[in-house]
Amino acid sequence: MLLAKKSTILVIDGNRSILRVFRRLLEKNGYQVVTAETGKEAVEKLHCTCFDAALVDLELPDIEGTSFLFEIKKMTPETVKIIFNGLRNLDDDDCREVFLEKPVLPTKLLTVIDAKLQETKQ
């Protein structure tokens, strides 16, 4: 899919191993990837770059995930948000948000990213 291959994705997770795995997976599939380990670092990167999608872990070391999600919605409402949630179900109230339970299979993640980016480009 040509559109998705040019997309830039911000991956936010406090676990460096997860960041490395996601970076490799996404770059291997043609995405441009920027990572952040904290909510503060992610906000700084959001001020500098426009991202097509953000993969957000709700358990960040410096900010409660739902508070950060509110912040990212306010800053970049057009960005597709894919939220990883290992603790509880949250309502999907925005067409630009997807909630995935941890752990997520790489093929499922790629399918969701491709579909949501294609949907927003139409």
Query: Residues 103, 80: contact at Cβ < 8 Å?
Result: no
Whole-model pTM: value is: 0.84
Instruction: Annotate 72-100 with DSSP letters as a single string.
Output: HHHH-TTSEEEEEESS------STTEEEE
For residue range 88-113, list pLDDT tens digits in order: 455 545 545 788 888 888 999 999 99
CATH of the domain at 92: 3.40.50.2300
* Residue ranges making up the domain that contains 12: 2-121
The residue that leads in pLDDT, 57 or 92, is 57
CA–chain centroid gap for 97, Å, is 9
Split into its structural domains, the chain has a count of: 1
